[in-house]
Amino acid sequence: MSIYEEYKSLMFDHAKTKYASDPAIISADSDPDTSKETALAAARAADDRKADNILVLCVSEISYLADYFVIVTGFSQAQLRAISQAISDQIEVELERLPLRIAGQNDGNWVLMDYGDVIVHILLPEERDFYKLEAFWGHAEQVHWQS
């Protein structure tokens, strides 16, 4: 299964879970402050591992899939894994959270980390150019962050 197929499956499963668990399609354990801190911690961790073109989008007003998307570029599969591990470690230390699932970490050109309220996309440049996630979610509010 390609990472794109895993992504579609993950998004569909995540949407069904959120919808099934709450008729208002609002996650019961989603705290806006924790969601934002998780997204910012992911961005900082990615920056520490020399990720490029780090983008944090607040999608809570336009999607029920998550509150935030973090989209970053890495330049090799090894760097994708290092960025993913750094994000996981930093969020676990700072916020005592673990990802619900991770896809593409072993051999993918796109690593997807699902924290429920935050979804992190770590892509090689070719994948990012091809899938154009920031264009698809371009109407979302961009969150400014500092390393």
Residue 69: CATH number of its domain: 3.30.460.10
pLDDT the model gives residue 10: 57
* pLDDT level of residue 147 (50, 70, 90 thresholds): confident
Q: Is residue 2 situated within a structural domain?
A: no
Mean pLDDT within 47-68 = 95
pLDDT in tens, 73-124: 999 999 999 999 999 999 999 999 999 999 998 888 999 999 999 999 999 9
Q: Is residue 23 situated within a structural domain?
A: no
Q: Is residue 53 situated within a structural domain?
A: yes
* High-pLDDT (> 90) share of the chain, %: 67
Q: Is residue 88 situated within a structural domain?
A: yes
Of residues 100, 36, 43, 37, the one with CA closest to residue 73: 43
Reduced to 3 states (helix: H, G, I; strand: E, B; else coil), residue 12 is helix
Q: Is residue 11 situated within a structural domain?
A: no
Q: How many domains does the chain have?
A: 1
pLDDT in tens, 16-31: 444 334 333 333 356 7
For tokens 């520490």, the residue is: 48
pLDDT the model gives residue 31: 77
Distance of CA 129 to the CA centre of its chain: 17
Q: Is residue 70 situated within a structural domain?
A: yes
Using a cut of 0.95, tell me whether the model's pTM lies above it: no
Higher pLDDT, 117 or 11: 117
Cα four-point dihedral sign 53, 75, 111, 114: negative
Range of the domain at 131: 32-143
Check: CB of residue 18 under 8 Å from CB of residue 64. yes
pLDDT the model gives residue 23: 36
Give the residue ranges of DSSP H helices in the chain.
3-21, 32-48, 77-95, 125-131, 133-136
Instruction: Give the whole-angstrom CA distance, residue 51 versus residue 32.
Output: 25
* High-pLDDT (> 70) share of the chain, %: 80
Mean pLDDT within 40-65 = 95
Q: Is residue 119 situated within a structural domain?
A: yes
Q: Looking at beta carbons, which pairs linking 80-85 to residues 24 or more positions away fall under 8 Å?
A: 80/104, 80/105, 80/108, 80/109, 80/110, 80/111, 80/122, 80/123, 80/124, 81/105, 81/106, 81/111, 82/49, 83/45, 83/46, 83/49, 83/51, 83/111, 83/122, 84/111, 84/113, 84/120, 84/122
pLDDT in tens, 129-144: 999 998 999 899 999 9
Q: Is residue 139 situated within a structural domain?
A: yes
